[in-house]
Amino acid sequence: MASKIFCFATLTLLFLLTLLALQANAGTICDSTPYPAYCKAVLPKQLAEVHDFGRFSVQKSLIQSRKFSNLVNFYLGGKSSLSERTTRALGDCQFLSQLNVDYLTKSNKFVTKAGNTLSDSEADDAQTLLSAIITNQQTCLEGLMTTASDLSIKNGLFGPLSDDSKLHSLSLALFTKGWVHKKNAPITWDFQGWHPGFRNGRLPLRMSKRLRAIFNSVRGRRGRRNPNDNDDENEDGVLINDIVVVSKDGSGNFTTINDAVAAAPINSNGTDGYHLIYIKEGVYEEYVSIPINQPYLMMIGAGINRTIITGNRSAGDGWTTFNSATFAVVAPGFVAVNITFRNAAGPSKFQAVAMRSGADMSTFYSCSFEGYQDTLYTHSLRQFYRECDIYGTIDFILGNAAVVLQKCNIYPRLPLPGQFNPITAQGRTDPNQNTGISIHNCTIKAANDLAPSVGTVKTYLGRPWREYSRTVVMQSYLDSLIDPAGWSEWDGDFALNTLYYAEYDNSGTGSDTSNRVTWPGFHVINATDAANFTVANFLQGNDWVPQTGVPYIRGLIATDKKGKVIDTGN
């Protein structure tokens, strides 16, 4: 009997010691967060597991986000007395704060699940949302900083913005520490010609016979049926539940893209397939914005430079960078194919966005993005671009999404006299954000207007917009326009120690790394490190890209000892 009591007491003691080992006080936890002093002031003064502190912080973030949204709405209530520039900046903040409430509501559901574990996909979803919340705060702040007047609003919002940004950073840090357990990414080698879900040079759209007939008719398909077409709903392919047609001449269902978007389904879960908007050839002078409650839209145009969506809003004309976009989307699961997105403001108008995407799991295939400064704003969440053309001058690929550009053509253009071309400006502000720009198997060469001036206009792969800027260029062709230094400073030594810039296995005259910058944050990496920035590992793309029907390479491209791409002939 005594031995049983002893054993029970021993087991109880071991359990208590194990429980105490899992627990820590707020001070210990806070030392590993970006803002230790703020963290210690916020978290409860008690022993707890990191998961408990994480739940507390996320719930507090949600409460504060609602308060900030209400504060912005209060200031907008007096907009009759505000300048137009301030009203636009507040409008951005209102839009972004509402997104934050939505993202934090979803994140809170993840952390309040029973137990302290999440699947890898759930953990990545939540980390992605928490990363985007910080980005949204920063974007709101940037817009307000462009307003020179209305100091009372600035003073009233800057304090809450600063405090809430620290709180959201704390929530992300605690979530990452408690729920995200990243292992070394596996190196996956792919062979040229490996295109999952893609056959015969086109999207394998799966439709009923009625929808297939409609789609072929609006594309102008005539004559004998192609035996490769997917007429049968049971065949593999991208599921389409409905088709509407936009045509400027009135021959379709709508004459404007905005009308087609307004009529699209609300809160679709995607299980019934995409709502397809086919946009016939023409120049559409519209500003299009697809809200978060219209997910799983697919837009297909007649081809690059045949279906063109264009606008000319710019910072030079009083718009914030965020709301200068010709086309903007935050709806999850968005897919665009065969469309040109253009901002025609010109190089003298400063920031002028052609496309802004804050849409999670958004995909762009065979599209063109045309502008000058800030052409393609990959704002937040997870995005994939395949076989796209991107034109611009200063920082023309920017933002803080987790984004992979694969097999794209990147064309720096001729800037204004005295300017230079940094291609990317990645905006990661927090070390726990799972964001960055990955340029994989792309071609970087001068646009026609820049080609004669390559020797006099400097072009760089990027510069650090924010402190933890992260950009990787791998297995890409870099033409002679790339300056031997490779990368440019933003402002003196800002971020040179904290950024992460890397190159791997590139080719072309501009790929020589022997004279690259010597910053602590720059690296020439190996395959093990490069594998972290592939579609499969950086975007978890194997979980969602195949359903779009867009071709992609999961991992690194297999090459022989001479660097020649191995082609299996598939």
What residues are labeled active site? 374, 395
Please state, in angstroms and rounded to a whole number, the distance separating the CA atoms of residues 436 and 500: 9
Dihedral sign, CA of 513, 514, 516, 518?
positive
CA distances from 16 to 20, 22, 23, 164 (A): 6, 10, 11, 36
Residues 6+ apart with CB under 8 A from 132: 99, 103, 358, 380, 381
Residues 6+ apart with CB under 8 A from 11: none
Burial of 262 (0-12, 13-18, 19+ CB in 10 A): exposed
Residues 6+ apart with CB under 8 A from 207: 215, 230, 231, 233, 240, 243
DSSP string, 326-375: SEEE--TT-EEES-EEEE-S-GGG-B--SEEE--TTEEEES-EEE-SBT-
Please state, in angstroms and rounded to a whole number, the distance separating the CA atoms of residues 363 and 386: 8
Phi, psi of 548, deg, nearest 5: -80, -20
What secondary structure letter does DSSP report for 509?
Answer: G
Pairing mode, strands 470-474 and 500-504: parallel
For residue 481, give the nearest of 503, 504, 514, 448 by alpha carbon.
Answer: 448
Entry field: residues in the chain: 570
For residue 324, give the nearest of 137, 139, 151 by alpha carbon.
Answer: 139
Residues 6+ apart with CB under 8 A from 368: 304, 305, 339, 340, 341, 342, 388, 389, 390, 391
Residues 6+ apart with CB under 8 A from 504: 472, 473, 474, 475, 524, 525, 526, 527, 529, 530
Please state, in angstroms and rounded to a whole number, the distance separating the CA atoms of residues 105 and 100: 8
| SS3 per residue for 436-475 | EEEEECCEECCCCCCHHHCCCCCEEEECCCCCCCEEEEEC
Q: Which residues share a beta bridge with 309? A: 284, 341
Q: Which residues share a beta bridge with 477? A: 443, 507
**Token pair for residue 160?**
């809450």
b/e map 308-317, b = 16+ CB within 10 Å: bbbbbbbbee
